């Protein structure tokens, strides 16, 4: 039985990756670094800032330095994106239909809390999310399942009765590691670039709630 639905945020609720790319381009250009879009695809989308910064700066970024650099980059992102916040096609109608069924919902993101609050508040759905967890809420990041296991616990659901919406390799892997069903949102990657998902969508117009419920009917 379907007990809860958990959404990643970047690339799942909003198509933020192009704006993260712009923010990172500005951030790295100040340091005379110019990653390509292909490099961002491989080493930014779905990754946490510790990994991204360590990879592109070529050394381990952690502790206080990580906090300072992360705030610099994420402040750039929020400045760029705050006037551009737009949900992925069909997300809001699908979400509101889902809420009418009474199914608990949550957000589990690798992004900072400030980003999540800005986006979810702007879309007007904060009060309808029974769980909202960001990078500050976990000690291990995706592909570790911690954010999804904590979300399930907060939503009062067993992991095996949850569905996660994800768009990245590390995110899908985290959901699978949590023992959850996965809807692959093809906003950033092609189907064959993700681990096997239960359903794939390019937009939420393609998805009906009975499809989600049906994933549990043979169990």
Please give the span between the terminal C-alpha atoms of the chain, in angstroms, as a whole number. 8
> Quick check: 196 pLDDT over 60?
yes
pLDDT of residue 188: 84
**% of the chain at pLDDT higher than 70:** 99
Span 81-95, mean pLDDT? Answer: 96
Query: DSSP states of 91-108 as a string?
Result: HHHHHHHHHHTT--EEEE
Span 54-65, mean pLDDT? Answer: 95
Q: Domains in the chain, start-ordered, CATH in brackets?
A: 4-14+87-214 (3.40.50.1000), 17-81 (1.10.150.240)
Can you tell me the distance from the alpha carbon of 78 to that of 175, in angstroms, rounded to the nearest whole number? 27
pLDDT level of residue 219 (50, 70, 90 thresholds): low
Can you tell me the distance from the alpha carbon of 209 to that of 207, in angstroms, rounded to the nearest whole number? 7
Tell me the pTM.
0.92
Query: DSSP states of 25-84 as a string?
Result: HHHHHTTT----HHHHHHHTTT--HHHHHHHHHTS---HHHHHHHHHHHHHHHHHHHTTT
Can you tell me the distance from the alpha carbon of 105 to that of 96, in angstroms, rounded to the nearest whole number? 11
Residues 91-129: tens digit of each pLDDT: 999 999 999 999 999 999 999 999 999 999 999 999 999
> Quick check: 17 pLDDT over 80?
yes
Tell me phi and psi for residue 129, to 5 degrees: -95, 115
pLDDT level of residue 37 (50, 70, 90 thresholds): confident
Residues 144-194: tens digit of each pLDDT: 999 999 999 999 999 999 999 999 999 999 999 999 999 999 998 899 999
> Quick check: 79 pLDDT over 80?
yes
> Quick check: 47 pLDDT over 90?
no
pLDDT level of residue 40 (50, 70, 90 thresholds): confident
Nearest to 205 by CA among 92, 129, 101: 92
> Quick check: 218 pLDDT over 70?
no
């Amino acid at each position: 039985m379907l007990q809860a639905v958990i959404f990643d945020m970047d690339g799942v609720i909003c198509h933020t990756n192009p704006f993260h790319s712009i923010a990172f381009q500005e951030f790295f250009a100040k340091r005379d670094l110019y990653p390509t879009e292909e490099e961002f695809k491989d080493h930014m989308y779905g990754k946490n800032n510790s990994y991204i910064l360590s990879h592109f700066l070529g050394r381990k970024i952690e502790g206080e330095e990580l906090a300072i650099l992360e705030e610099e980059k994420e402040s750039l992102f929020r400045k760029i994106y705050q006037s551009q916040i737009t949900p992925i096609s069909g997300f809001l109608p699908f979400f509101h239909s889902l809420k009418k069924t009474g199914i608990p919902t949550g957000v589990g993101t690798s992004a900072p809390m400030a980003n999540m609050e800005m986006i979810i508040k702007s879309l007007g759905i904060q009060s309808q999310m029974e769980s909202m967890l960001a990078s500050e809420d976990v000690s291990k990041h995706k592909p570790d399942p911690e954010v999804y296991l904590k979300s399930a616990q907060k939503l009062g659901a067993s992991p095996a009765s949850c569905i996660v919406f994800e768009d990245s390799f590390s995110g899908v892997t985290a959901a699978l590691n949590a023992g959850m069903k996965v809807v692959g949102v093809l906003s950033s990657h092609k189907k064959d670039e993700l681990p096997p998902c239960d359903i794939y969508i390019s937009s939420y117009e393609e998805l009906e709630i009975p499809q989600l419920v049906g994933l549990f009917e043979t169990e």
